[in-house]
Copies of this chain bind each other. A is one copy, B any other.
Amino acid sequence: MAKSHQTHIRVRGYHLDLFLHVNNARYLEFLEEARWSYFEDEALTPLFWQRGYGMAVVNININYRHGAVFDDDLVIHTGFSLVRQRSAVLKQVITLKNTDTVVADAEIVFVAVDKNSNKAVGFDDELKERLNSLLEKTA
């Protein structure tokens, strides 16, 4: 994912747990942080907002491969891996900075949710085209 979006996080004392590794739930906050940053940098959030849509995660499949410890520098790579009619898949990979060591990798499936009806809605053409263009960019 050489051309993918990158977010940098340094592991702090409050990220760790009993085993002195970053706690499994905390990684999901790291991934969410990276997604907001990515959506912001690609001006995606306003596209959802202006339609009255929120984004709802419907599935996360995450592999924890290498326990990150205090002071590690993490790089979170984020990009689209699939765009469907009503859902899209983001691929996120966390690596140790300047290495090939994968700390965790995850696929995040999300849908657009209409804030009034609180129901998932399909992506319209403009939205789908935009997501597909990002798909190509990171392919």
What residues of chain A have their CB less than 8 Å away from a CB belonging to chain B? 10, 12-21, 23-26, 28-29, 32-33, 36, 54, 56-65, 67, 70, 113, 118
Contact = CB atoms under 8 A, between A and B. Distances in A.
Given A58-B64, A59-B64, A12 B33 contact: yes
A63 B67 contact: no
Contact of A32 (B12, B36, B59, B70): B12
Nearest to A118: B67
A121 to B, nearest CB: 15
A60 B24 contact: yes
Contacts of A14: 17-18, 23, 25, 29, 32-33
Given A25-B25, A63-B59, A17 B16 contact: yes
A24 to B, nearest CB: 5
Given A13-B36, A14-B32, A56 B19 contact: yes
B64 A56 contact: yes
Nearest to A20: B18
A9 to B, nearest CB: 10
- A-B pairs, top 3 by smallest CB distance, nearest first, are A13-B18, A25-B28, A61-B61
Contacts of A57: 24, 64
